[in-house]
Structure 1
């Protein structure tokens, strides 16, 4: 019984253990199945990830715990230029030609040593295919059973993005450099709060900081700081413009003044516009540029002043006098009364200018101008025509004799001695008078007739005045005969072209030609344009003649090219009638196309008056000519009335300084100043400058030293016939510049009294002629020497040869000036002792 009970207990125990084993076995089976499902899901997930990676621009990689590559996507070579065979088993830094984009290896390796994730680590690599690529990689650490087992991540070729960013960066650097060069800054103002713009963020470029007198980011940028720099008188105007632009959604352009931290006042120009959100259409910011235009404005103001006033004396110049006289003539005669036009020319001025230098000559002109002002009536206008000629416009004359009284008063005033730095100088004046009505109906006629009367006064005794007397009708008859002859001159082939070279003042080579019209008159011979072009314009023949000139120039260019001659651009002068033809550009296009000439070899010269006749239409015509490809320049610049505001809008290539300013620029401060101003203005407008009428080395040196680009004139060549011009081009003739400016060390000026001279020059006080131009020295073949007898005797004892000729200058100071040269000669201009 006991045995049976024990067996039952054993069986029960076996059944319990068996049941437990069965339950354990079932649990194990479930756990294995779950694990298998998890592994399957993981495998499927990895497969999907790798498939997606294969399809993307990225590649997949794995590294072991030693950071050596164990796996790479199959597309890695195609996308990175580096195959798995050359990568598996190596760390990233062991792969040849792999360089980080910054000094980042130590930092990156520290991240790896800390088993941390990393993103967008960038490096460059030269692939096995030889191509340079930029690579970006990101990775996550792998941890199994709490143990680091390596990294897994993706790589990406970012070469295109890098190159694009480099181009953007280069563009930004170029833009910043261009802004520095042009003194052009930029700014942005956020428009988040339109109710209070002063609180909105404002940003400046580096150049904007400099324009306002700061180093980049030296101050916090804000509207408050901006308006603190604005001139108090300009603040309200700027706020109005900004508010209008924001409210109306328009741009604005404004010039205003700022005061820099150092107290310097500058003029700046602002241009701005509104930027809108592409989706909402709301304004998001205002952007603009700021440019320091102070120098340009000063240049414009100076040139504008010089256009109307004489820079030396401050008197109205020729153009202002013409304008004033036009207004006087436009008044009703009963209220204006008689009008007198008086021209006064100083005698002996050129002698003073030559002997004592331009400074003394300028001083004489200034003092003479002041005497003219004091002795003219309050209602009269005193101006300077140029050189030593002045104009007095007399209004409301009761009789012509009143003009004579003013003329006599002026002559007497100018006859009084002038004190020029201790020298007592005597001059005289000749005056011509023309009266309206009777002696001319317009400013040109009155000035011309007054000039004729002045020359009669000069011929008939000097130091006097003469009224204009009508001349005979010979000139009018001769003019009528020219009228008749010109009508058939084109058909009879009496017109010919001559060509005057233009020379580059840097290289000395011929840079172009100007075609000049000549008329081969059967009786009078070759005539210059001034003698017949006005008649062509009056008769309407100028248009067909001008077309013939352009056609002949094209044919000549082709003829030269056929001979293998290198042709430079040829300039053709246009008449106002040609330029104002509505279809003139079409005529030019047809002529150039038919001839087959390169349009860049044609240059058209126009005058300021053509542009200002109708500025809008002129701009349209110039743009149409520019599209054809021809060049356009302004001829005789400085003699017209062009507006600087319009000038900078016209599509031009060059300005030509009129010969009237070139002629005396080495001896006339006014002409020199105008020439320099024109050169400066033209270069500011990015235009080439050509000087006409260059005849002397001094003129050439002056123009070169002040940056003139080209010259044209007798110094290099007169207008040449076709044959002579062809020979010149074949010979490739060029201008040889003087090797160096001749220093005036060979001439000295001494001031000495008799008691101080008893040896060669031992006690003489020496003063260099530092301000004397070479042109002055050349003209002074004889120099002034008015020394006491004792001084002359002492000089003769010292070995100097003395020439005691009679001149026209009276010098009365006790200390006498004389000039000695290395050849120990003293010469004097003829002078007249009183």
Structure 2
């Protein structure tokens, strides 16, 4: 015997094999088939037979496999050891009319005594089920795309199951990936909420969690994944409640309203600015409904009309009562005409306020039809009383100004004339010249004239004499220029003639030469004859220039050339001159770079005792170690260096390097008594010179500065005299270079008190052939010795020169016969090797 079967609950009470008789199974709305342990069909209800399209005779006793598609057979065949209900599956059944898909649920029934295990299959047609599922899926898809297109992020919090759902749109709103994990706990999520919004958000959540609010909407700022803050509008609804009446499931959406918030902020800012503008401008705004006659005024309108803002705006008739009697008819007519035409209009009128004060009002208005179709007149009033008063004041001022117009015009003409003319010579000034050159279309030529020796006259005879010379110069230029030429004084002693009519080069050169000849004639002043001179630069427009200002620059270049070639002459600008200027500029640029890169190096020419021919010192000579052109002598760059004001800096560098070499020689044991360095007049006037020498801490008697005689020793400036005195106190000796060809006198020598004189090579060269020259040189030596000044002969080219100069009493010899200027390395080799006195020198001295 088998054990009693356990009943199976089908939803309609317990069910056993006995209770599944055919008449009972026919009551079930679904198809039911009972399969035994051998997978044979024991019974089937009428619905199952109808679904299969078979008779009971065809089905009962047959194997279930005969009616099921082979691939779906595992879903319906009972397996040993399987108990209880299985998951429903869609199974294809082979009926009389074809294959039909049906949803099958399978359950195992306890077998009857001696019958073995049994399986019950419940069948439902899938056509209707599939249609309903498809409909549901279509609805789900429709809502999904609707929410996504609206950028609504969906969230679903099921607190009973603990399932927290967040849609992909919800994640994308926050900059998260669609598959990013989200920690939806309140404690974690609230960390991303803006600190200023957390209290508000927590309060809203608490109201919904308590059941107080079934539907909840709030706005807050949340941190985006990229670090910025975004505004979120969250809407949530409670869809299920627990036994305690509190929500157990809440579903909602989140929307990014950042753009809307920014637009609201901008709108608020615009509104604030508009209100501020209205407040500052004191403009009153009104609106009048033409259909109802009702008006609305803002506070500014009430204040403008002297009314209480708490009251009601006046009607049309009430507004008309404020109008000044003299303006009333015109103002009302203007309003009525505008209403009739429906066009915007402007009005101006006076009002009398309740306090009796009269104010001037200006009004602008336009018509507007609102959403209800009502016609409204919208406009603004502003008080122009102060403007009217100002206009009246301006009218009075204008009348007063017109009364004085002729006087002011005369003053204007005088001021303009004075602004454009030189008060001394009555010639046009630089400002007038600039205007002429700017406005002129064609300029034939420009002469730039600079007076020579004007400074000496001005300094020696006084400024009145200088002014007289300038007036004389203006008269000379007027007498030589043609009628349409433009003459201007553009500086202290500089003049310009602009030739506007066509003249050839020969005519222009004759004009320049004539002016120079005229300036050479002495000018009497205060019982004396003043001699001026003129240097002139000429630039001719040869059809290539379009800008007259460039022509003036060319004339200036030509003037510079004329002055550099000796003054009292003229030069005509040429392409060659331009190229020379460009070359000088290129050299100047290279000199600045050379100074930065310390490309200047010292060369040394030894100086010898005239009797023993022992080295008594060295003269330091500057050389430029050019990276491309090799070692350059001073004559190739010093003039340009002086023009661009680099000579003082080069002098400073040479002094520093020479003293550094001298100290190195001392450490090497080379007996070099002293060094001398050439100092330019510009460096001598450099206020930094004394402090630079003091910082070097040069021992007394070690270094001497060579000054050119052409520095005008008789006319020392005070600052130069003070500099030389300071150098003497520091132990720096002063030497006079090129003595005998310049302007120095005995008085100048006494004033300067130099340590040595260097006789110029122009006097030394002829000394072996000319006895007069010998007497001159001996006289210079005697003068030097009488003043306790040692004498150096430079330019000693032969040993005959050396012997003769020694016999004449010269103290030191310097020249190519003894040694040429050489690099530091070559000089050090010479100093170590020593100097052999040539036999020719000794023999020449014995003969004498």
TM-score using structure 2 length: 0.33
Higher relative contact order (CA 8 A, sep 6+): 1
TM-score using structure 1 length: 0.34
For the pair shown, the structure with the greater C-alpha radius of gyration is 2
